[in-house]
């Protein structure tokens, strides 16, 4: 169950409260919770919509082995496969080599 930010109207204190997503009060609305009058604030969080971004560094199975500008796997049958550190690194390496991501 997600936490939502509220401001206590009497004290100005910011508090967190748990609500099911379906029952969360709209932003700016007033609620009474545990005897306190609260106004819902915009929650200070960011949602990462890119499921791949949290998985770096990654070993590329599609880029050529021993690709310049990358660290490489050093052992086993995957020796030489490039290791991509983050999205920016991936974009830079692919651009330098003239590669592009397919859809």
What per-residue confidence (pLDDT) applies to 103?
A: 45
Range of the domain at 10: 3-40
Segment among 18-22, 49-53, 93-97 with least mean pLDDT: 49-53
pLDDT, residue 52, reads 53
pTM: 0.46
Domain contains 22: yes
CA 17, CA 39: separation in Å to the nearest integer?
Answer: 11
Q: How many domains does the chain have?
A: 2
Mean pLDDT of the chain: 84
pLDDT band of residue 54 (cuts 50, 70, 90) is: low
Nearest to 91 by CA among 53, 54, 51: 53
Does the residue 46 lie in any domain?
Answer: no
> Residue 43 is encoded by which pair of tokens?
């929650």
Yes or no: say if 43 and 57 are a contact pair by the CB < 8 Å rule. Answer: no
Q: Are residues 36 and 11 in the same domain?
A: yes
Q: What is the mean pLDDT of residues 60-87?
A: 89
Confidence at 51, pLDDT banded by 50, 70, 90: low
Is residue 47 in a domain? no
């Amino acid at each position: 169950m997600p936490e939502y930010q509220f401001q206590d109207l009497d004290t100005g204190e910011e508090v967190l409260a748990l609500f099911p997503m379906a029952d969360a009060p709209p932003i700016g609305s007033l609620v009474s919770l545990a005897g306190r009058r609260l106004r819902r604030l915009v929650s200070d969080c960011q949602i990462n919509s890119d499921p791949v971004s949290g998985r770096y560094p990654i070993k590329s199975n599609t880029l050529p082995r021993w690709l310049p500008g990358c660290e490489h796997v050093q052992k086993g049958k995957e020796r030489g496969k490039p290791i991509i550190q983050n999205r920016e690194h991936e974009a830079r390496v692919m651009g330098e080599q003239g590669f592009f991501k397919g859809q």
